[in-house]
């Protein structure tokens, strides 16, 4: 995230709520279908990846 790269993480990672709130990536249920869905969303839209990558750096 410091490098401006959005993340895809599981909802089992302790910072998932902060990632979701900051829109700094995609949060996935801890299942293979859930991960596939979030990865597809992340890879589908370059503009959205850029926006989510920039979000953590814009936070106060």
Provide the whole-model pTM.
Answer: 0.84
31, 25 contact by CB (below 8 A): no
| CA 54/CA 36 separation, integer angstroms | 23
25: region left, alpha or beta (phi > 0 left; psi from -120 to 50 alpha): left
Q: Quick: pLDDT tens for 8-51.
A: 999 999 999 999 999 999 999 999 999 999 999 999 999 999 99
């Amino acid at each position: 995230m410091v490098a401006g790269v959005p993340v895809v993480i599981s909802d089992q990672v302790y910072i998932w709520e902060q990632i979701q709130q900051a829109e700094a990536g995609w949060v996935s249920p801890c299942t293979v279908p859930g991960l596939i869905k979030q990865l597809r969303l992340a890879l589908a839209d370059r503009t959205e990846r850029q926006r989510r990558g920039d979000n953590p750096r814009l936070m106060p």
